[in-house]
Chains A and B, each alone.
Chain A
């Protein structure tokens, strides 16, 4: 095998070609993100339910929940930021 310089991956243009013209990559990414966020929401609701139900941990429950929501929303905004106006 001859030594060949490695090249970066190229976008999957052949797959993109199958998409209808009305659907952009940005829209697809956006919907994929919404699905991920839906899973996140379910997990978060279950965890918050546990935090709030068991009162022995309540002294730290509200700051923990607030920190989780704040950081998660910041990360979601970052993930979605690239899809705006694409």
Chain B
């Protein structure tokens, strides 16, 4: 099932998601939390007053194995949930419109379309050291007439996306005569 049906003669030009670096940054907290049960005994052993607590983390006992297994399962499933959200949030540029698909949570989805003939202004922003090095930025698409603005944060190569939008805006404007 698709969120939107392509019109006759319409084709998908580009699908854009957040930059992979931002995706990895989202996963980092889960990775750190997953490592804690293995790192904590070693860290506790370094502090003499707390060294005796390191024996709690003996993963040969029934309870400790169960707790560790559940902890890792929660971390893994949460990370996978983040992965699901990453893939379900997408911007689709077609030859006639821009479709913004937002997955706010499970069973909470928003799909908006902006026809290219209504696009008035496209702005890109790349701010900061890392975004400049990795070429991560924000695109703002302003539509004519209304205060509708499409914003997508953290997309790779925003200038390329802007150029593509403007290219298809000019094609669409010529074909519709607007």
Contacts and interface: CB of A to CB of B under 8 A. Distances in A.
Interface of A: 5-9, 25-26, 29, 32-33, 36, 40, 43-44, 46-47, 50-51, 53-57, 60-61, 64, 68, 71-72, 75-76, 78-83, 86
B86 to A, nearest CB: 9
A64 B62 contact: no
B72 A75 contact: yes
Interface stretch (B24-32, B63-71, B133-141, B145-153): B63-71
Contacts of A64: 80, 83-84, 87
Nearest to B55: A8
B171 interface: no
Given A79-B70, A82-B63, A54 B88 contact: yes
A54 B56 CA distance: 45
Contact of B73 (A25, A40, A55, A86): A40
25 contacts: A5-B52, A6-B50, A6-B53, A7-B52, A8-B55, A8-B56, A25-B62, A29-B66, A32-B66, A33-B66, A40-B73, A43-B81, A50-B84, A50-B88, A50-B106, A51-B87, A56-B2, A75-B69, A75-B73, A78-B68, A79-B70, A79-B73, A80-B66, A81-B69, A82-B61
Interface size, B (range): 35 or more
B3 interface: yes
Q: Chain B: interface secondary structure?
A: helix
Interface in B1-32: 1-3, 15
Contacts of B128: none
Contacts of B101: 54, 56
Contacts of A82: 60-66
A53 B68 CA distance: 33
B69 A47 contact: no
Contact of A25 (B2, B63, B68): B63
